[in-house]
Amino acid sequence: MSKLVTIFGGSGFVGRYIAQRMAKAGWRVRVAVRRPNEALFVKPYGVVGQVEPILCNIRDDDSVRAALLGADAVVNCVGILVESGKNRFEAVQAEGPARIARLAAENGVRRMVHVSAIGADMEATSDYAATKGEGEAGVLKHMPDAMILRPSIVFGPEDEFFNRFAGMARLSPVLPVVGGETRFQPVYVDDIARAAVMGVTGQAEGGIYELGGPETDTFRGLMQRMLEIIHRRRLILNTPLWIARIMAFGFDMLQAITLGLFSNTMLTRDQIKNLSKDNVVSDDAKGFADLGIRPVAMASVLPDYLWRFRPSGQYDAIKESAQNLRKS
């Protein structure tokens, strides 16, 4: 019988790519999510019955234990950018990974891959980064040989970075950014999946790997690249941190006052702490080179999914060619 991997958060942005690759490798894939009825799109990743979404709440021992039943390996991709309701950073990013690792060890699961983030540090002032660090520590406590992946900002067709700002550029003449000079090292989502598969299958040893793409650029520089691809000219306005903090405070208070009816997906005070620090691979960290993976450049992927934000969408290039013919 083929081996089984349980992927927590396997229908999310990164998780779905890992699930797809694991299915292609011949593994049975159990996708553990909060809303399995919204994850049915993962089923065609394999043959009938090979990929199955199941209900799981990583805040509950019994739920996690059931999801791990019979698994040979486990991958955790669960993470949040904004707190809401019971989904707090501490519960999801610190306690959750530790719970998965503890129960995986108790159930004899051989290998674990945990997707964290560059900047994970238990001593960080940001709750997001601090709980990411706590989660890593919890995983290594129970699964010392686990592979921990720390990607920089992730790009791909379903990303919430380039898609979000391209959408804003379609509607507004001004593109506001916070931390315009902060450096990032964007990494292609499928490259992370390739690394995770190597950890699951035992092709790579455990440990912490920081994953960044072949290019490093500032927040402002990334926005300029995006604007060039979608053929739009916009003013990139770097919002001073003190103004950003006031705005974030207002959004956070609005979410608190409305008891979560308004979810602050705009800008939080915690995000500002992260945006004030570079998000690039450390010089002494293990990374793609140690895995034998050559990361994909942004120019090879971004035009494939950002074209829809161009003034004439898929017909933009044809329209531009027609204009050139008139000039000649």
Element (H, E) at 115: strand 111-115
Point out the residues of the chain with pLDDT beneath 70. Answer: 1, 320-328
End-to-end CA distance of the chain: 66
Domains detected in the chain: 4-157+185-215+279-296 (3.40.50.720)
pLDDT of residue 316: 76
Q: Residue 221: what pLDDT?
A: 98
Determine the pLDDT at residue 1: 67
> pLDDT at position 317, please?
73
Token pair recorded at residue 133: 């660090």
Q: What is the pLDDT of residue 326?
A: 61
What pLDDT is recorded for position 138?
A: 98
Residue 264: per-residue pLDDT: 86
- In the prediction, which pLDDT does 182 show? 96
| pLDDT value for 270 | 95
- State how far the Cα of 279 lies from the Cα of 149, in Å rounded to an integer: 14
Q: For residue range 141-186, what is the model confidence (pLDDT) as tens digits?
A: 999 999 999 999 999 999 999 999 999 999 999 999 999 999 999 9
What is the rounded (10 degree) CA torsion for 21, 24, 26, 31? Answer: 50
Q: What is the pLDDT of residue 223?
A: 98
Q: Write down the pTM of the prediction.
A: 0.94
In tens, the pLDDT along 132-143 reads: 999 999 999 999
Place of tokens 């604007």: 227
pLDDT for residue 230: 97
Please classify residue 164 by burial: count the beta carbons closer than 10 Å to its beta carbon, then call 0-12 exposed, 13-18 middle and 19+ buried: exposed
Check residue 318 and give its pLDDT: 75
Nearest-5° Cα angle at 119, 60 to 32: 25
